[in-house]
Amino acid sequence: MQGELIVFSGSSHYKLAQGIASHIGLPLGRARITRFSNENIKVKIDENVRGADVFVVQTSCPPVSDNLMELLIMLDALKFASASRVTAVLPYFPYARSDKKDESRISIAARLVADLLQASGADRVLTMTLHAPQTLGFFRSPADQLMAHPILIQYFRQKDLSNAIVVATDAGSAKFAGYFAKRIGTPMAVIDKRRMDDTESAHSVALIGDVKGKDAIIYDDEIATGGSIREAARILRDFGAREVCVGVTHGVFSGNAPETLNGADLDELVVTDTIPIPEAKQESIKNLKILTTAPMFGEAINRIHAGRSLSEMME
């Protein structure tokens, strides 16, 4: 058992941090974040954290680099204020897609972020649905990954799934989609998707499985520009799917994602709140449903604080 449990929030997703603290039954810790005219950031911890077990909630969303730097400075401030243990809670991990060296002379930025977090004083990290599970191997201190599938499974189980089929957007996501399909009791199909360059666009060229007349549920870890989802929806409609729904963890919705997704002919688009979605963007995306991750993060923080297992939460 660590010292007093305190949850702080960065400025990236205050609403989610409030929900997490509310689930735990605590007020958020007091801190002041100042941005000066020269774009420097100052963090002042406004309460005693000596000997405390501290958790800092800060997700990756625009401005990504500012939010990351703010988190690093807050971790450093807490560590030098003599917090007993500091855990960085990153619902969406920064630079998560830069997890491998697939070109010459590039940085594995996700590994660099892991190093920066540790150098800034993070004793452990808590995140959700990494783009690649091996990212956990970049950490030299404890790192835990929550998965959003229990939240999405609970939601989709409320529907009539007698005619449903889960669809993986590519071979890489087939393992996660297969687990999801097994838990909700449906068959699975896989789309053959090819990514040719760095334009964040991919093309769906074939389908493994039978979706004709079925209610397809596309399952993936994130939506960025929406191009992959639009391509997946197109091929599913071409192969005769009756309905097309989407369930993903991270709604990044970058660039012209709302327009792209609205052109995808989706019956429902379900995401979690790991990333804040501005109201204007919420209103512009048709059939959008946002599920909260606050109770799951709150339960995970309680378990970490008490030294209990997190794996039980994923069963």
Please, are residues 99 and 119 in contact by the beta-carbon 8 Å criterion? no
Neighbours of 306 (CB within 10 A): 11
Please, are residues 128 and 92 in contact by the beta-carbon 8 Å criterion? yes
Please, are residues 250 and 221 in contact by the beta-carbon 8 Å criterion? yes
User: What amino acid occupies position 213?
Assistant: G
Beta bridge partners, 243, equal 215
Residues in the chain: 315
Cα dihedral 154, 156, 161, 163 in deg (nearest 10):
-150
Residues designated catalytic:
193
Question: What's the CA angle centered on 242, arms 162 and 196, to 5 degrees?
Answer: 110
Please, are residues 187 and 165 in contact by the beta-carbon 8 Å criterion? yes
CA distance 182 to 43: 46
What's the Cα-to-Cα distance from 221 to each of 84, 204, 210, 250, 262, rounded to whole Å? 33, 17, 23, 6, 19
Please, are residues 263 and 227 in contact by the beta-carbon 8 Å criterion? no
CA distance 270 to 45: 36
CA distance 36 to 184: 50
Please, are residues 108 and 100 in contact by the beta-carbon 8 Å criterion? yes
Q: Who contacts 104 (Cβ-Cβ below 8 Å, separation ≥6)?
A: none
Q: Who contacts 142 (Cβ-Cβ below 8 Å, separation ≥6)?
A: 123, 124, 125
